[in-house]
Amino acid sequence: MLLEIVISFLIVCTIQERVGLLKSEDGIDGYDSRIKLEAESGSLPTDVIEKFPHIRNYKPFKVPSDFDIRDLVKSQLAVVCFDAEGRMIQGTGLQLPGVLDELFSYDGPLGAHFTPEGVSLHLWAPTAQAVSVCIYKNPLAESPMEICPLNEVNGVWSTTVASSWEGCYYLYKVSVYHPSTLKVETCYANDPYARGLSGDGSKTFLVNLNSDDLKPEGWDKLADKKPCLRSVSDISIYELHVRDFSAHDETVGPENRGGYLAFTIKDSAGVNHLQKLSDAGLTHLHLLPTFQFGDVDDEKDNWKSLDTSLLEGLPPDSAEAQARITEIQNDDGYNWGYNPVLWGVPKGSYASDPTGPHRIIEFRKMVQALNRIGLNVVLDVVYNHLHASGPHDKDSVLDKIVPGYYLRRNNDGFIENSTCVNNTASEHYMVDRLIRDDLLNWVVNYKVDGFRFDLMGHIMKATMVKAKDAIGNLRKESDGVDGSRVYLYGEGWNFGEVAQNGRGINASQFNLSGTGIGSFNDRIRDATLGGSPFGHPLQQGFITGLLLQPNGHAHGPEATQELMLSTAKDHIQIGMAANLMDYVLTNHEGKEVKGSEVLMHDATPVAYASQPTETISYVSAHDNETLFDIISLKTPMEISVDERCRINHLASSMIALSQGIPFFHAGDEILRSKSLDRDSYNSGDWFNRLDFSYNSNNWGVGLPPKGKNEHSWPLIKPRLQDPTFKPQRSHIVATLHKFLDLLRIRYSSPLFRLDTAKAIQERVRFHNTGPSSIPGAIVMSIEDGHKGIPNVSQIDPIYSFIVVIFNSRPSEFSFLCPVLKHRNLELHPVQVMSGDEIVKKSVYDTFSGNFTIPARTTTVFVESRNV
Ligand SMILES: *[C@@H]1O[C@H](CO)[C@@H](O)[C@H](O)[C@H]1NC(C)=O
Ligand SMILES: *[C@@H]1O[C@H](CO)[C@@H](O)[C@H](O)[C@H]1NC(C)=O
Ligand SMILES: *[C@@H]1O[C@H](CO)[C@@H](O)[C@H](O)[C@H]1NC(C)=O
Ligand SMILES: *[C@@H]1O[C@H](CO)[C@@H](O)[C@H](O)[C@H]1NC(C)=O
Ligand SMILES: *[C@@H]1O[C@H](CO)[C@@H](O)[C@H](O)[C@H]1NC(C)=O
Ligand SMILES: *[C@@H]1O[C@H](CO)[C@@H](O)[C@H](O)[C@H]1NC(C)=O
Ligand SMILES: *[C@@H]1O[C@H](CO)[C@@H](O)[C@H](O)[C@H]1NC(C)=O
């Protein structure tokens, strides 16, 4: 058997489609030259297998050394296999990323650089046959005022244009063979390193981000005004969508609603709300995607909007609202934004005017305003996939320039799509580099303070670690920002083609251990609420009534439920100890086990972190139902809304008083509802409404959109119809105050924010454990160093001992804890001052160590040093 590469330079017109190559009986048509491959013995080299584990069993062949591969990659290439008679047996295309990385990996300048001599442009496009830049005076111009060819040196195309072109718009015109069409295509593409865009996103704005015109007053000094951050373990996070923040805020002028500038409006209801959170201790505001994403037109004039007066006064379970919203959902101003078009440019639809410099200036003003109210800013970045690919899609960028390179393909050449569509491949060098460069762009040019990585498990661990190091090296003196305070975290899920390190060691929960990069703890979420986002919506959990207050769902026999509840407690307790692998606790069987030895139902360990900053504790996020909604689904129909509010608070308290990094979704603290919508990414302002006047929580504004919710409508309808489910203003305000109290408690003592695994192991203990423990209650103590414990230092000047009791039972409970007797424990002063009269009924008897805690209450007792 003989293997050959068949090359066809440009003349691909005879090969119309993939199978065309294989059709002719005795050979292949339309090629220009053929190269005989040399079979190699043995397996692929180890470095190749390491980089591409999914082809480890492939047979190696070699291209003879007298061919210049740098030229070959500009052609259409196919590998064809002939039989002894010279008849073709099989043929296939080639995937080139490995070759491109080996020959063309590049660390020099890319994008536009402004120098006294002019503006230099650099584009990495090693497979392109020709590249030129089209310059447009005006963003709407159809034809360029100038087209300049770029010259190639080893895969990098460059030219220098006059400085006077600053402020113009440009596009690259790239002639390149495109495997998806089997043709040499002429593609018009934005610069992958674009730093600005035209209003319609079709052209790159030639902008110098260092220009003074783009800097709000005081911008260069912002690093000195950043909210102080003692330690990464002090971080707490609040996740918010830019548009949700102000779309309905009547204290913000209509021109600023839904955009960046709303964050700069002094004394608006929304800003005052954030100020309260910040004053209580919250440190970080995480914004849903703010880079250039697809599916929302940047030009507001093109939006369709809803006449909401038609929806007022409809029944709470009316299907009318969702029907009208669905009609316009792809043409309105709303989308979460998880469909990246260009990573490095602020989204235009959030700017007052998407053209020219406005989006840049307004984004900076937003960051500055948030920093001024004491909040650090986190961006949600989506590097795991691209909204579009191919030579023609208006939203395709990278794939027009080096077709096929940026995307991860399966062994048959199809683009992987486990993240939705068009998965990217950070195992390819220039993808990894683009991600790092993009992060640095946001840190240096927009001075942001952290990043949340969407589907981080699909990115390679090496990319994450390199990115963290590169950011960490930024210095205030030389770079204008202190990179060491920038925190990285994300979704470390394990699925798709990257599962089990299928494409190299990826940034999944376990693999990140030791990096200081955080990942979301789904264990504490699921144990607390019950089931999982992928399970039955009525499955109950630790706080929603499992065993103790059944909702009628078939959870199995009582013994099974007891086991589920006690297992959930183990998972939550490990989570509260920052989900540390080495944390030792007494499990429900009474055995001393490490976090890594407690297993989930699929036999993977519950714990994955080696330090507290590697765990993001949460129960709710933008995905799936809001906290209030999920509680309203899972708790029995007949309980009162007061009880649901207490459960809502209990859930927030478990997160707020955990070690590790607590994370809250905007509205957890004001009972936010999306009327049970489980995926509101495209459900418009109506279902995503946040009301900082605290008059409504958006419960019962209609049945949520059909697409993702219809099969649950039978569960949803009776709940929405029932008027007792709807909270009143008093419930919303009380929940907010209690939430602020939780933050105040967390920040009242460093013992809630321990910064090493060792400190947690030494200080945090759980009581009420083992087989005879009382179900539905967690008793945690945190002990500071004192003379009696050698080697444990004292870190809290005020409190020497803290006891937190979470009672998720529907009734009061008492617990006798001899090891906690003779303590000077008192109710935390914040709770003493709080408006929650129920928590004040908590009792501790120092002589016996007997605690009595009211139903559905979190009580914090403290022992002060100086008594
Ligand atoms: C990639 O993006 C295009 C849009 O350009 C989309 O139509 C296509 O379905 C995506 N491809 C895959 C394999 O998901
Ligand atoms: C995802 O890729 C698989 C395998 O290539 C393909 O069968 C499937 O149709 C793709 N799905 C989408 C939504 O593009
Ligand atoms: C990443 O690697 C882990 C560990 O090998 C693997 O189990 C997982 O499936 C991979 N992919 C993702 C998305 O996490
Ligand atoms: C990555 O995680 C998997 C489990 O998901 C584990 O088997 C593997 O050893 C880890 N690899 C590294 C390098 O951390
Ligand atoms: C939860 O959210 C994710 C992401 O939006 C979605 O894929 C999933 O379908 C949701 N789960 C349910 C049960 O709707
Ligand atoms: C305390 O530290 C000393 C010196 O580091 C060590 O020898 C000793 O074993 C430690 N004691 C305990 C109880 O950890
Ligand atoms: C603990 O206190 C409660 C409430 O005062 C009481 O009912 C209970 O008997 C006490 N338990 C013990 C063991 O003293």
DSSP 225: G
Identify the CA nearest to 829 among candidates 856, 783, 866, 862. 862
CA of 508 to the centre of ligand 2 (A): 23
CA of 525 to the centre of ligand 3 (A): 20
Residue 566: partners with Cβ closer than 8 Å, 6 or more residues away: 588, 773, 775
| Mean pLDDT, residues 80-85 taken together | 77
What CATH number does domain 214-296+333-384+424-508 carry, 3.40.640.10, 3.40.50.2300, 3.30.590.10, 3.20.20.80? 3.20.20.80
Q: Is 791 left (phi over 0), alpha (psi -120 to 50) or beta?
A: left
Q: Over the stretch 735-770, which tens digit does the pLDDT of each residue have?
A: 999 999 999 999 999 999 999 999 999 999 999 999
Q: Over the stretch 659-692, which tens digit does the pLDDT of each residue have?
A: 999 999 999 999 999 999 999 999 999 999 999 9
pLDDT at 18 over 60: no
Q: At 291, phi and psi to the nearest 5?
A: -85, 175
Average of per-residue pLDDT values in the chain: 93
Between 265 and 10, the more confident residue is: 265
Say if residues 504 and 53 touch (Cβ distance below 8 Å): yes
CB atoms within 10 A of CB 728: 14
pLDDT at 15 over 70: no
pLDDT at 291 over 60: yes
3-state secondary structure 672-713: CCCCCCCCCCCCHHHHHCCCCCCCCCCCCCCCCCHHHHHHHH
Which value, to the nearest 10 degrees, does the dihedral of the CA atoms of residues 844, 847, 848, 851 take?
0
Predicted confidence at residue 411, as pLDDT, reads 83
* Architecture of the domain delimited by 108-213: Sandwich (2.60)
Question: What is d(CA 804, CA 654) in angstroms, rounded to the nearest whole number?
Answer: 10
So what CATH class is 760-864?
A: mainly beta
| Mean pLDDT, residues 709-731 taken together | 97
Between 313 and 629, the more confident residue is: 629
Q: Over the stretch 353-369, which tens digit does the pLDDT of each residue have?
A: 999 999 999 999 999 99
Band of the pLDDT at 6, cuts 50, 70, 90? low
Task: State in Å, rounded, how far the first CA of the chain is from the last one.
Answer: 89
Q: At 415, phi and psi to the nearest 5?
A: -70, 130
Q: Give, in order, the Cα–Cα distances in Å from 388 to each of 71, 222, 397, 425, 444.
A: 28, 36, 8, 14, 28
Q: Which atom of ligand 6 is nearest to the CA of 789?
A: 13
Question: What is d(CA 346, CA 453) in angstroms, rounded to the nearest whole number?
Answer: 17
Say if residues 780 and 576 touch (Cβ distance below 8 Å): yes
pLDDT at 110 over 90: yes
pLDDT at 22 over 60: no
Q: Over the stretch 378-431, which tens digit does the pLDDT of each residue have?
A: 999 999 999 999 999 999 999 999 999 999 888 888 887 776 678 888 889 999
Do domains 108-213 and 760-864 share one topology? The answer is yes
Predicted confidence at residue 842, as pLDDT, reads 98
pLDDT at 255 over 50: yes
Pocket of ligand 7 contains residue 832 by CB under 6 Å: no
**Bridge partner residues of 35 (DSSP):** 5
- Weakest mean pLDDT among 77-86, 90-99, 203-212, 605-614: 77-86
Band of the pLDDT at 17, cuts 50, 70, 90? very low
Question: What is d(CA 318, CA 338) in angstroms, rounded to the nearest whole number?
Answer: 29
pLDDT at 26 over 60: no
| Mean pLDDT, residues 453-459 taken together | 91
Q: Which atom of ligand 6 is nearest to the CA of 790?
A: 13
pLDDT at 11 over 60: no
Question: What is d(CA 298, CA 300) in angstroms, rounded to the nearest whole number?
Answer: 6
Predicted confidence at residue 224, as pLDDT, reads 96
To which residue do tokens 């004039």 refer? Answer: 301
Strands (E), 229-384: 237-240, 284-287, 291-293, 340-346, 376-381
**Bridge partner residues of 453 (DSSP):** 381, 490
Q: At 863, phi and psi to the nearest 5?
A: -110, 120
Predicted confidence at residue 498, as pLDDT, reads 57
Q: Which ligand is nearest to the CA of 676?
A: 5
Predicted confidence at residue 29, as pLDDT, reads 66
609 three-state secondary structure: strand
Q: Which atom of ligand 7 is nearest to the CA of 848?
A: 14
Predicted confidence at residue 515, as pLDDT, reads 97
Protein residue closest via CA to atom 8 of ligand 3: 499
Q: Which long-range contacts (CB under 8 A, 24 or more apart) does 93-96 make?
A: 93/18, 93/179, 93/413, 94/5, 95/404, 95/409, 95/413, 96/127, 96/404, 96/405
Question: What is d(CA 831, CA 657) in angstroms, rounded to the nearest whole number?
Answer: 14
Q: Which long-range contacts (CB under 8 A, 24 or more apart) does 411-418 make?
A: 411/54, 411/55, 413/92, 413/93, 413/95, 413/179, 415/389, 416/496, 416/497, 417/385, 418/458, 418/495, 418/496, 418/497, 418/498
Residue 78: partners with Cβ closer than 8 Å, 6 or more residues away: 5, 6, 7, 21, 28, 31, 91, 92, 93, 94
So what CATH class is 2-94?
A: mainly beta
Band of the pLDDT at 23, cuts 50, 70, 90? very low
To which residue do tokens 């007949």 refer? Answer: 638
Q: Over the stretch 120-156, which tens digit does the pLDDT of each residue have?
A: 999 999 999 999 999 999 999 999 999 999 999 999 9
pLDDT at 502 over 80: no
| Mean pLDDT, residues 836-851 taken together | 97
Question: What is d(CA 385, CA 293) in angstroms, rounded to the nearest whole number?
Answer: 12
Say if residues 129 and 176 touch (Cβ distance below 8 Å): yes
Predicted confidence at residue 428, as pLDDT, reads 94
Predicted confidence at residue 5, as pLDDT, reads 63
Q: Which helix (H) or strand (E) holds 814?
A: strand 813-816
DSSP-derived secondary structure for 461-525: HHHHHHHHHHHHT--HHHHSS-GGG-EEEE-----GGGGGGBTBSB--TTTTTTS--EEEEHHHH
Question: What is d(CA 565, CA 560) in angstroms, rounded to the nearest whole number?
Answer: 9
The percent of residues above 70 in pLDDT, for the chain, comes to: 95
Task: Produce one character per residue of 87-102: b if its CB has 16 or more CB atoms within 10 Å, e if not.
Answer: ebeebebbbbbbbbbe
Pocket of ligand 6 contains residue 788 by CB under 6 Å: no
By annotation, the residues acting in catalysis are: 454, 491
The percent of residues above 90 in pLDDT, for the chain, comes to: 81
Q: Which ligand is nearest to the CA of 341?
A: 1
pLDDT at 16 over 60: no
Q: Which long-range contacts (CB under 8 A, 24 or more apart) does 466-474 make?
A: 466/432, 466/436, 467/435, 467/436, 467/439, 468/515, 468/516, 468/517, 470/436, 470/439, 470/440, 471/439, 471/440, 471/443, 474/440, 474/443, 474/444
Question: What is d(CA 408, CA 414) in angstroms, rounded to the nearest whole number?
Answer: 8
| Mean pLDDT, residues 162-173 taken together | 96
Q: Which ligand is nearest to the CA of 842?
A: 7
Band of the pLDDT at 83, cuts 50, 70, 90? confident
Predicted confidence at residue 825, as pLDDT, reads 97
| Mean pLDDT, residues 208-231 taken together | 96
CA of 339 to the centre of ligand 1 (A): 11
pLDDT at 568 over 70: yes
Residue 194: partners with Cβ closer than 8 Å, 6 or more residues away: 111, 204, 205, 342, 344, 345
Predicted confidence at residue 841, as pLDDT, reads 98
Question: What is d(CA 532, CA 634) in angstroms, rounded to the nearest whole number?
Answer: 12
pLDDT at 503 over 80: no
CA of 862 to the centre of ligand 7 (A): 20
How do the domains of the chain map onto residue ranges?
2-94, 108-213, 214-296+333-384+424-508, 308-332+672-726, 760-864
CA of 708 to the centre of ligand 5 (A): 8
CA of 50 to the centre of ligand 4 (A): 14
| Mean pLDDT, residues 27-41 taken together | 75
Question: What is d(CA 343, CA 112) in angstroms, rounded to the nearest whole number?
Answer: 16
Q: What's the angle, vertex CA 79, arms to CA 78 and CA 80, rounded to 5?
A: 115
| Mean pLDDT, residues 565-578 taken together | 98
Q: Which atom of ligand 1 is nearest to the CA of 389?
A: 5
Pocket of ligand 5 contains residue 623 by CB under 6 Å: yes
Question: What is d(CA 217, CA 360) in angstroms, rounded to the nearest whole number?
Answer: 14
Predicted confidence at residue 10, as pLDDT, reads 34
Band of the pLDDT at 19, cuts 50, 70, 90? very low
Q: What's the angle, vertex CA 575, arms to CA 572 and CA 578, rounded to 5?
A: 160
CB atoms within 10 A of CB 83: 11
Pocket of ligand 2 contains residue 202 by CB under 6 Å: no
Pocket of ligand 1 contains residue 852 by CB under 6 Å: no
Pocket of ligand 2 contains residue 417 by CB under 6 Å: yes
Pocket of ligand 7 contains residue 774 by CB under 6 Å: no
| Mean pLDDT, residues 187-191 taken together | 97
To which residue do tokens 């297998």 refer? Answer: 49
Protein residue closest via CA to atom 5 of ligand 7: 852
For 77-219, where are the alpha helices, taking DSSP H only?
97-104
Structure tokens at 686: 């109506």
Band of the pLDDT at 496, cuts 50, 70, 90? low
Pocket of ligand 3 contains residue 511 by CB under 6 Å: yes
